[in-house]
């Protein structure tokens, strides 16, 4: 982005690690100004990056912070957790946490930020979903939240398409992030994609950066798998 161009502002959740951090780094390189939202301390130190501490599973806190975010050109909701359990051993609290973080937080942030994008005639929204939304043993509660995100994105995309705002979902397959080592997913090992390696966070970040660009203006309401071929048999 040239120095005389308007610096676009993106809000990115889950900015302190994994996919969210990779997205922030890629967008900063592309010239964006970033407000990174995460419960964990900031792990990026750049003049164009501002850290906002927030527990996204707390609805009132999320609403308050969202109301204070101004002139946002893009929202990327990358924060997430994975809890696994087979039917018969489902954990209601884990299911509630995933719903609050993946679905409720996305709703609150979008509801606060998208209307101003519509008014200005430009905006980009990307939710990080999961290929698991198609269903996988032991991950029914997680899959349900990610499937809900896709349904919301498609619904909202239709509403705001005439106003220059796009809403999409990027759904990674098994990705090389700290989440893979989370004890909460013990007994549910990631499935290696056909390409023979895990997806890298920077690969997801590159796709998200493109979706936020002017060149992606005609892409909206889509669920884009980035899974190394894992979805080819479905």
| Catalytic machinery residues | 142
The DSSP bridge partners found for residue 208 are none
Q: What residues have CB less than 8 Å from 127, skipping those under 6 apart? A: 76, 77, 106, 149, 152, 153, 167, 168, 169, 170
Q: Chain-centre distance of CA 211, in angstroms?
A: 12
Q: What residues have CB less than 8 Å from 178, skipping those under 6 apart? A: 17, 18
Q: Backbone phi, then psi, for 41, in 5-degree steps?
A: -60, 155
Cβ proximity of 156 and 125 under 8 Å: yes
Q: Output the six-digit token pair for 134.
A: 């198609």
**Most distant CA atoms of the chain, gap in Å:** 59
Residue 161 exposed, middle or buried by CB count within 10 Å (0-12, 13-18, 19+): middle
Distance CA 32, CA 8 (A): 5
């Amino acid at each position: 982005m040239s120095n005389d161009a308007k610096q676009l502002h993106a809000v990115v959740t889950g900015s302190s690690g994994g996919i969210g951090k990779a997205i922030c780094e890629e967008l900063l390189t592309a010239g964006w100004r970033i407000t990174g939202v995460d419960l964990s301390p900031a792990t990026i130190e750049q003049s164009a990056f501002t850290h906002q501490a927030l527990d996204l599973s707390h609805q009132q806190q999320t609403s308050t912070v969202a109301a204070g975010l101004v002139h946002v050109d893009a929202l990327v909701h990358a924060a997430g957790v994975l809890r696994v359990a087979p039917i018969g051993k489902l954990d209601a609290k884990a299911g509630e946490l995933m719903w609050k973080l993946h679905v409720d937080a996305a709703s609150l942030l979008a509801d606060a930020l998208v209307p101003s994008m519509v008014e200005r005639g430009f905006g980009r929204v990307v939710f990080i979903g999961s290929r698991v939304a198609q269903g996988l043993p032991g991950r029914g509660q997680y899959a349900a939240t990610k499937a809900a995100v896709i349904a919301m994105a498609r619904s909202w995309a239709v509403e705001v398409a005439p106003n220059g705002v796009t809403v999409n979902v990027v759904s990674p397959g098994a990705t090389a992030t700290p989440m893979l080592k989370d004890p909460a997913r013990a007994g549910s090992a990631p499935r290696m994609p056909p390409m023979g390696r895990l997806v890298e966070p920077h690969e997801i970040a590159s796709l998200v950066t493109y979706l936020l660009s002017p060149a992606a203006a005609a892409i909206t309401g889509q669920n884009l798998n980035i899974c190394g071929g894992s979805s080819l048999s479905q």
